[in-house]
Amino acid sequence: MFVVQDPRTGVRYGYDCIRCGACCRHAYEIVIRTSDVERWMHRGREDIARGLQVDLKSVAPAALIPLSWYSAHDASREADPAGPERAFVASHQAAFDGLASFLLECHENAGTGGTATGPLVPFWFLPGVDFRTILRPKNLGIVKRGIELGIQYVMIMAIKDACAFLEGDACSIHEVKPADCAEYPVKEQLEREPRAMEKFLAVCKGIREAG
């Protein structure tokens, strides 16, 4: 039996994983680590790049612009709600051009998926991209480079309404699955995504309070 503690309440839960795959359908974000990519490259698993996408939150203006910029440019919001973001991008144009080139040339646009609504501010520095766009890396080397640039990659969930690697109730890459999956759910993951514990309690069939 595994034990997990709710970081919000301190309540401890025990669970026996019965490999039902439910958490792979309702999962929190599965974030890809450099160690995952290196392991896949070492094992010749280039195919896994097909199931990954850029987490657009990690390249959204809101993630890239320091809060101090917003407070310094707050007045311009009245005339143009996106004013501070546009001003920031304009003053860091070379960096945004480089980021846009990397994202658009080294990834393929695999369409849109899911119903998640994004920030009101569009990705105007990424033509043709909105918050639901699935940007899929062309290979694992791209993922490694992207992580170095600060881009976060996650498993594609929006196409099958489940992880791209879930087949039936089973993980088709079980022997090389990401560390995030192998460790699921651990304190770090539960704290990273506020609703992760709530989702885990709702979907996991093997869980019970440990006292």
Residue with tokens 């809101």: 62
Distance CA 172, CA 94 (A): 41
Does position 205 bind ligand SF4 by CB under 6 A? yes
Does position 208 bind ligand SF4 by CB under 6 A? no
Please pick, from the candidates 18, 62, 63, 116, the single residue that binds ligand SF4 as defined by CB under 6 A: 18
Name residues contacting ligand SF4, limited to 177-196 (CB under 6 A): 177-178, 181
- Segment interacting with ligand SF4 (CB under 6 A) among 17-25, 90-98, 117-125, 129-137: 17-25
x-or-dash string of contact with ligand SF4, 73-112, rule CB under 6 A:
----------------------------------------
Q: Which is nearer to ligand SF4, 77 or 208 (CB)?
A: 208
Q: Which is nearer to ligand SF4, 22 or 129 (CB)?
A: 22
Distance CA 137, CA 116 (A): 21
Give me the least distance between CB of 143 and ligand SF4, in Å please. Answer: 15
x-or-dash string of contact with ligand SF4, 25-64, rule CB under 6 A:
--x--x----------------------------------
Longest dimension (CA), the chain: 58
Give one DSSP letter per residue of 4-40, joined into a string.
Answer: EE-TTT--EEEE------HHHHS----BPPHHHHHHH
Please pick, from the candidates 1, 8, 12, 17, the single residue that binds ligand SF4 as defined by CB under 6 A: 17
Give me the least distance between CB of 207 and ligand SF4, in Å please. Answer: 7
Chain centre to alpha carbon of residue 177: 15
Distance CA 20, CA 174 (A): 13
Torsion of Cα atoms, 122 then 128 then 131 then 133, to 10°: 180
The enclosing H or E element of 3 equals strand 2-5
Query: Which amino acid type is present at position 200?
Result: F
Crossing angle for the helix pair 93-105 and 83-91, nearest 10 degrees?
90
Give me the least distance between CB of 183 and ligand SF4, in Å please. Answer: 11
Distance CA 32, CA 52 (A): 8
Name residues contacting ligand SF4, limited to 123-182 (CB under 6 A): 155, 163, 165-166, 171, 173, 177-178, 181
Please give the residue ranges that form the binding site for ligand SF4 (CB under 6 A). Answer: 15, 17-24, 27, 30, 155, 163, 165-166, 171, 173, 177-178, 181, 203-206
